[in-house]
Chain A
Amino acid sequence: MSINGNYFAGVDVGSLAAKSVILKDGEIFATGLVPSGVNSVESGLNALNLALESAGLKQEDLTYIVGTGYGRVSAPYANKAVTEITCHAKGANYLHPTVRTIIDMGGQDCKAIRIDQDGAVVDFAMNDKCAAGTGRFLEVMAGVFKVELKDLGAIALSATDTVPMSSTCTVFAESETISLVARGEKPENILNGIHHSIANRIAGLFSRVGIESDVFFSGGVAKNSGMKSAIEQALKVTIVKPEIDPQLIGALGAAVIARNFSKKEGLWAA
């Protein structure tokens, strides 16, 4: 690819959403976010095209593209593929160089990531296979209470009590929730319990990798104010507030890495 401008893109195709970020001269220039479909190539391209359209650019204008997320292996439009763990680290470091710990909660997994001052990963842990503690889990719970996913956190924050949830399995938690409702527990208190239950699972991941301030929360679930509050209580930390949609951090990191790769490969000189 020849030098044709200072535009770098990151595309993060996750299980629930595909995201893109375009950097121009080191600054966020455009973003795109679309729901993921079954075709991950198409999902990634849709997200990228959305950002390109809003920026008034064409794909040929991009110097370098990095793909990340589970769709990164099917990203023919990308010059390189990097795991989302590395990308979230770079994205958080780009926004806040003082961040040393990242909680990333996406659609199908959650990650505890420790990074250094350069945004390089020092250690990480992930939930291995259970959907409990992920965005999908919260989706199921929103369905049980027939409320919008985006309202879940605010409802939990309005609770007057916390109903403990013993279950860590999405399917079992759903049936436990139904029985709690039948028992007369208030929905907001149950939802508060669910958020704390998830936060405790995440705390378990940090027992493996440790915590160091500042702490950053990325991924789609980071938009949930109830979850942010529950995690702050479980980990006894204050979470740094992101300036952009936290769901875009992986794509942002990928764009930062695209810029670095491009420089390393001599395609672009700052």
Chain B
Amino acid sequence: MGKQLFRYSEANKEKFLESDNITFNDGSTVSPEEIWHYLTEEAPAKYPSAFEVNLYQGNRGSRDETLPTSLKTRYLGLTFSARMEKAKDNGKSIAFIQGGQAVDPYTAADTIALRPGLVNQWNNGLEYGNDINKENLRRKKSKEKAFHDMSFEACQTGGYEHVQAGDLRIDVIAPYTVLRCSDISYGVEAHRHGPNKNVKLLNVDYPLRFQADKPWAIEYFAKNLRRLVNTLDEVTGRKTSENDLLKAIKLHNTGRRLGTELAELWWSADVPPTNSDDRASMVSLGNLEVHGDVQASLSVLKEAKKFIAERVKNGVKGHAVADNPKRLFILGSCVGINGSRSEDAGAIVVGRDDQWSHCSSLVEEVGDPFYNLAKATLEYPYEQSIEKRAQWTIEQIKKSRADGVIFIHNWGCNTQAAISRPIVDIIKRETGIPTYIHERDLHGLRDEQEQNRVNAFVEML
């Protein structure tokens, strides 16, 4: 028997068709008509797992049908794999990155930068017709292969296994080392000894933490950024100038400003104007990297801000959000809680520190762009000492009017595991807000055990 699939209602079509086109890096556009057709005809056939009505497994995605940019971020997510394949067919260079950096230098060097999650998304989208169960089994198989190739001690294996297997046409692996992530070394070592080690590798050496006030560290890191751009140029065959980087910084600053404004607009609302997933998908556009297309992210972000402003003005509450939900702020790298199930339990996610840290950090536009980018990167609040990071986080918690804080990290993420307790202790001490630390298991019982704890925390609030 076929699984029940969600369908967008025709009742909202007219309003959606009045919204803007999405413009892409290559200058092409997609109209609302084309997006509507894709979401209602093509995508449910290609990716039934994304439309399957299943309260307990997978991510049901947004169902906020009256918010056009919700559908558009969905569109960008579902077309991601096809767009990456098209980009490769057109000769675009793609880099596998890791380490929490802003992607300005990759944009400057005309290279698409993909983190592990996006690399997995690219691979996942290559197979059509799977329901949630089949999709989960496929992903688990891939993860098991990664454990075999790397180590089951590594938390974020995603991506390397696909490079090694030759599943994806990735041109260069260029992570930032020693930047919040303890397991990049697993991936790098596995790559050095793997069967597909000819894929170019560059470690962008990030000076040890807490060096933001030291000129030598900024100079050293700026040199590393130049090495990065040179390496990307070797792949693309072009020459990236300082002016190219400055242009990229200006473009990304525009995204960062818009992302920050959108988040603050959202926080200013009496009632949450969107659900957790929509908030996250729109605010994260500010880094202009999440869909592998800077211009597409920017065009949806601009429109999203307009729609959120309207909702805030009219007091519209986001889809499936409870009355007076408990507001959760999520800390930690690479993972978050299940937004829709947490909403069912009476909560809403109002913010995260990961990614938001560099979205809210503008880069100076006057002077040497490499130096400026290095300085800004070394100053990311998320990468500072425990006390400094906690103080910055407290500011965000207050701005977002959070009722509770959950620090969540992957099993095997040594950096975040080590600092989670002191950080939440400072937050608890200074705000009195209840906190909870959760270490995510690697698949298996993850969903239910984790949700059980989150729900208990929400009930406690």
Contacts and interface: CB of A to CB of B under 8 A. Distances in A.
User: Do the two chains bind?
Assistant: yes
Interface string A114-129: 0000001111101011
Interface residues of B, number: 16
A73 B439 contact: no
A200 B186 CA distance: 34
B449 A121 contact: no
Interface string B386-420: 00000000000000000000000001000000000
B441 interface: yes
Interface in B191-242: none
Contacts of B456: 83-86, 121, 124
A121 B459 contact: yes
A99 B428 CA distance: 24
A116 to B, nearest CB: 10
Contacts of B460: 85-86, 120-124
B56 interface: yes
B147 to A, nearest CB: 16
A70 B449 CA distance: 8
A82 interface: yes
B448 A70 contact: yes
Given A73-B56, A128-B439, A129-B441, A82 B459 contact: yes
A201 to B, nearest CB: 16
B455 interface: yes
B452 A70 contact: yes
B448 A73 contact: yes
Contacts of B56: 73
Contact of B455 (A83, A120, A126): A83
B116 interface: no
B403 to A, nearest CB: 14
A128 B411 CA distance: 10
B44 interface: no
A117 to B, nearest CB: 15
A83 B459 contact: yes
B434 interface: yes
Interface string A81-99: 0111110000000000000
Given A70-B448, A73-B56, A126 B453 contact: yes
Contacts of A86: 456, 459-460
A5 B445 CA distance: 39
A46 to B, nearest CB: 21
Contacts of A122: 460
A124 B445 CA distance: 20
A123 B448 contact: no
A170 to B, nearest CB: 16
A170 B38 CA distance: 51
A129 B438 CA distance: 11
B441 A85 contact: no
Contacts of B452: 70, 83-84
Nearest to B448: A70
B459 A85 contact: yes
Contacts of A85: 456, 459-460
B150 to A, nearest CB: 20
Contacts of A123: 434, 460
Contacts of B455: 83
B261 to A, nearest CB: 36
Nearest to B450: A128
A213 B318 CA distance: 43
Contacts of A70: 448, 452
A8 to B, nearest CB: 18
Nearest to A74: B56
Interface string B435-449: 000110100010011
A96 to B, nearest CB: 20
Given A70-B448, A73-B448, A123-B434, A128 B459 contact: no
Nearest to B461: A121
A185 B13 CA distance: 76
Interface in B28-57: 56
A123 B433 CA distance: 11
Interface in B323-375: none
A122 B404 CA distance: 12
A102 B351 CA distance: 32
Interface in A118-157: 120-124, 126, 128-129
A82 B457 CA distance: 11
Contacts of A83: 452, 455-456, 459
B332 to A, nearest CB: 14
A82 B459 CA distance: 8
Interface string A60-77: 000000000010010000
Nearest to A81: B455
A195 to B, nearest CB: 25
Interface string A226-260: 00000000000000000000000000000000000
Nearest to B453: A126
B425 to A, nearest CB: 10
Interface in A34-49: none
Interface of A: 70, 73, 82-86, 120-124, 126, 128-129
Give the 3 A-B CB pairs with smallest separation, nearest first: A85-B456, A83-B456, A121-B460
5 contacts: A70-B448, A83-B455, A83-B459, A124-B456, A128-B441
Interface of B: 56, 411, 434, 438-439, 441, 445, 448-449, 452-453, 455-457, 459-460
